[in-house]
């Protein structure tokens, strides 16, 4: 929906993107992947393998109730100012703009401070 409305996004489902972009994105989510691997490594192995070795789906690896480990500094380096999430995120570096935006239960908007 965002891309169709000419809103630039960093993650999501893409048919084509440069390989170097995948590696930049991996830097953003690496700490979240490491956090998940420590919690429940077995379930995550296939997801990480698919992310690194194939796939058009760039995801955060954040799961409801987890600690938020996304590298916000890397996002800011890419001129990213906002995060849209279906989950409530808790970080001192995020400012909640809208919870359940437009009364849609799984859309929350955050500004990266």
Over residues 62-107, the pLDDT tens digits come to 888 889 999 999 999 988 888 888 888 999 999 999 877 877 777 8
Q: Which residue has the higher pLDDT, 76 or 9?
A: 76
Phi, psi dihedrals of residue 49, rounded to the nearest 5° = -60, -50
The pTM assigned to this predicted structure is: 0.76
> Could you tell me the pLDDT band of residue 60, with boundaries at 50, 70 and 90?
confident
Q: Which residue has the higher pLDDT, 4 or 96?
A: 96
| Distance of alpha carbon 19 from alpha carbon 49, whole angstroms | 15
State residue 78's pLDDT score.
85
Other Cβ atoms less than 10 A from the Cβ of 85: the count is 17
Phi, psi dihedrals of residue 112, rounded to the nearest 5° = -85, 115
Residues 6+ apart with CB under 8 A from 63: 36, 87
What does pLDDT average to over the chain?
A: 80
Question: Measured in whole angstroms, how far is the alpha carbon of residue 52 from the centre of its chain?
Answer: 15
State residue 42's pLDDT score.
65
State residue 43's pLDDT score.
66
Closest CA to 33 of 101, 113, 41: 41
Q: Is the pLDDT of residue 4 over 60?
A: no
**Residue matched to tokens 């379930």:** 43
Q: 108 pairs with which residues across the strands?
A: 85
């Amino acid at each position: 929906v965002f891309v169709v409305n000419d809103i630039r996004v960093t993650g999501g489902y893409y048919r084509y993107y440069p390989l170097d972009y995948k590696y930049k994105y991996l830097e953003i989510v690496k700490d979240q992947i490491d956090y998940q691997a420590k919690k429940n490594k077995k379930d995550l192995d296939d997801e990480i393998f698919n992310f690194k070795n194939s796939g058009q789906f760039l995801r955060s690896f954040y799961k409801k109730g987890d600690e938020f480990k996304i590298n916000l500094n890397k996002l800011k380096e890419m001129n990213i100012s906002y995060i849209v999430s279906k989950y409530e995120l808790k970080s001192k570096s995020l400012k909640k703009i809208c919870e359940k935006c437009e009364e849609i239960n799984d859309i929350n908007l955050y500004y990266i401070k």
